[in-house]
Chain A
Amino acid sequence: MRKWASVCFCAAIIGIKDPTAQNHLDYIEKQMLGDSMKAKITMKITTPNWSRELKVNSNLAGKNKALVFIEKPARDRGVGTLKIDQNMWNYFPRLKRTVIVSPSMLLTSWMGSDFTNDDLLNTSSLANDYDHKKSDKIKIDGKEVIVIRNTLKKNAKAVWPLIISYLDQDNCLPYKYLYYNKENELMRVLSFKDIKTFNGHKFPSYWKMFPMNEKGKYTELIYENIEYDEKFSENYFSLRTLTRN
């Protein structure tokens, strides 16, 4: 009965009687990204020996446009990254220097964290770049979750060949993502919690990424504020805005 109720609840949220894996992932992208979003994020990198904290302003519009600026620490203040379609640039305000970023940089760590440029710029899309297979529900941490196996499409450009996503039955939002490399080894785990509502969009405001190959290290993302459906001007996502300050 409980199982039936939760299935119905998720179906009701998405608005489809028997949602497919694609329906789930489309719903998540729509719910979490909206048409556009403007977020203030605190990033905390923790290891057994050191920790760092960054403040970031992230602006996203659809899947192809992103503009991210670092607010803190002072060393990197104002450093910006712009993505338009497949083109990317970094801007270093101290020298007023704009640099073209190679696509290969997407897989690198963003500011020493466990998130990559690809994660921050939302370059790849779980909903569009992967083939999906919905499996039986399982229970993890006492929570019933929907399991979706996402395999990278043949010609898609994304970092991870396989991502397994656990979606929370209660709200249809991500609960945990498991990232596997080409050798099918689990490389990192991203968990989500603290669902908040920003402008009518439900969003897990706390993300925690664990790399499997670095014991004791993890990176937290705390979404302090998100404004959805921000009306960015036509030329906001441009080299002009990137180089404004």
Chain B
Amino acid sequence: MTKLFYLLFFVSLTANSQVEFDYFGNLELQTRKAWNHQAGKDANQNWDQEDFYLLYGNFSGRVGVNQNSIEYNIFARYANSDLYGDDNLNNQIYNFPERIISRDLFRMVHYESTDQSRFDMLINKLYYEWETEDSRFVLGRMFINYGMGEIYNPINPFSTPQGITVLNNVAQGSDGLRFTLFPSLDHTINFYILGDKRYYDYDGRYARTLWAQGQIVLEKGWQAIYVLGEDQKRFKSGFQLSYELARGTLFAQYLRAGEPQGEIEGNSLEDYLIGYDRQLSEKWHLRVEAGYQKEDDLRDFSVFDERFLPQEYFIAFANSFQFHPLVKVTGTIIIDPEAEFSMAVLKSTYNATSNFEVDFYALGPIRKSPEKETLGQRVISTDLGLSLRYFY
């Protein structure tokens, strides 16, 4: 595939071309102390307290010539913890999102695992882009990021929202082709043809994605996103509507996924989200999201693969407060009213120098009836952590 990029890129060069190079990235070191709960032990998570260390980084670059460019990002991550030794689920949460490639055709992953560590290094972005007067064409592994949901964002199946994780700047890549049309200044349409060999297992069958996603800026503060297509062997359709209300933004999403096609039997799915985002004062920002995700017969709610803290109903409050120009504190609580379970995440980010940040974070469960909880909820531990982050 790399050869194809080079070929497309160099064919597009002209004698008067001006070549632009750019590189950037970030490195992060995290250390975390975690305490297990009885609910976790009852769910076969047999440990009391553990240390977890994580080093990860993004190494990105871009080469551009006129209307053509190649962009890449190499993502590398090393995690160390005794929790890797058994069938523990917590490391999936600490490392979330574990799955960095969302729709995987080309692999481009190196992976090593021992009883105490996990190392993965992969290319999660590598694409050739060509821009014309009224369109844009992208071929390769790309980030697909749209939709307003930060805790839950059902209209975008290609990027997992990371509103309550403590990893930063982690983006998921998808393999295929994107063709973007700009019919007017207020309307953008993206057509995707993607493939995924990992739908069942990498060397097995593959699932295709044919997807149309459009964004329209309407009158009087309204904006809309629509999606339609086939993905992961289901027909899906949905939309997002957003509206300026009381100087904030009110938004709603709906996604319907039909029953799986082919030999696999499963149920149809419906996902809803409603949210409100507003700066309440100069320093205080509030976001509320509430939603419903229909349980998938094929993937139960113990799996962290695609949905962080999977549960059927939720309401989440995310507050951020700028205590000082260099210190921002965010507090998020996500509540499952059915299971009477909540998870709270408190994070403080200190911008120590222009390109260096320090995070302190704490997270933990608030539970009443562990017997009602999903497996994914039972394994949530109480954690304290520190992150050191450098940008270049």
Q: Do A and B associate with each other?
A: yes
B351 interfacial by beta-carbon distance below 8 Å: yes
Determine the distance from Cα of A103 to Cα of B248 in the docked complex, in whole angstroms.
6
Within 8 A of B (CB), among A164-178: none
B185 near A75 with CB under 8 A, answer: no
The answer to whether A75 touches B145, judged by C-beta atoms less than 8 angstroms apart, is no
Q: Is the CB of B391 within 8 A of A75?
A: yes
Chain B 209-229 interface 0/1 with A at a Cβ cutoff of 8 Å (1 = within): 000000101000101000000
User: Binary interface profile of A, 32-62, with partner B (CB < 8 Å = 1, else 0)?
Assistant: 0000000000000101001011000000000
Name which of A10-18, A106-114, A128-136 contacts chain B: A106-114
- The chain A residue sitting closest to B221, CB to CB, is A86
Task: Tell whether A235 pairs with B182 under 8 Å between CB atoms, given A73-B391, A102-B277, A104-B248.
Answer: yes
Taking a contact as CB atoms under 8 Å apart, the answer to whether A73 and B355 are in contact is yes
Contact A105 B354 (CB under 8 A): no
Closest to B143 in A: A96
Asked whether A109 and B325 contact (CB < 8 A) given A99-B148, A240-B182, the answer is yes
**B residues in contact with A98, CB < 8 Å:** 145-146
Does B171 lie within 8 Å of A96, measured CB to CB? Answer: yes
Q: Are B247 and A103 in contact (CB under 8 A)?
A: yes
> B178-203, CB under 8 A of A: which get 1 and which 0?
00001001001000000000000000
The answer to whether B355 touches A75 (Cβ under 8 A) is: yes
Q: Does A74 contact B (CB under 8 A)?
A: yes
> Is A100 among interface residues, defined by CB-CB distance under 8 A?
yes
The answer for the CA separation of A50 and B351 in the assembled complex, in Å, is: 11
Please, which residues of chain A bring their CB within 8 A of the CB of B107? none
Interface pair A94/B244, CB less than 8 Å apart: no
Complex interface: chain A residues within 8 A of B355 (CB): 73-75
Q: How far is the CA of A244 from the CA of B71 in the complex (A)?
A: 12
Residue on A nearest B134 in the bound complex, by CB: A235
What's the nearest-Cβ distance from chain A to residue B343, in Å?
Answer: 23
Given contacts A87-B223, A102-B248, A109 and B171 within 8 Å (CB-CB): no
Q: Which residues of A contact B357 (CB under 8 A)?
A: 75
Q: Report which of A53, A96, A112, A113 forms a contact with B145, defined as CB distance below 8 A.
A: A96
B46 within 8 A of A: no
Cβ of B327 to closest chain A Cβ, rounded Å: 10
A53-B354, A75-B391 are contacts. A245–B279 as well, Cβ < 8 Å? no
Q: How many angstroms from the CA of A104 to the CA of B283 in the assembled complex?
A: 11
Q: For the complex, what is the distance from the CA of A99 to the CA of B149, rounded to whole Å?
A: 10
Asked if B278 contacts A104 (CB within 8 A), the reply is yes
The 5 closest A-B pairs by CB, nearest first: A112-B325, A73-B354, A104-B279, A75-B391, A104-B247
List 24 A-B pairs, Cβ < 8 Å: A53-B354, A73-B391, A74-B392, A75-B354, A84-B185, A87-B221, A87-B223, A94-B169, A94-B171, A96-B171, A98-B146, A100-B242, A102-B244, A102-B249, A102-B279, A103-B248, A104-B278, A108-B283, A108-B285, A109-B282, A235-B185, A238-B185, A240-B136, A244-B131
* Given A96-B143, A102-B244, A244-B131, 12 other A-B residues pairs in contact with their CB atoms under 8 A: A45-B325, A73-B391, A74-B391, A75-B26, A77-B24, A87-B223, A94-B58, A95-B143, A96-B145, A102-B278, A104-B279, A112-B351
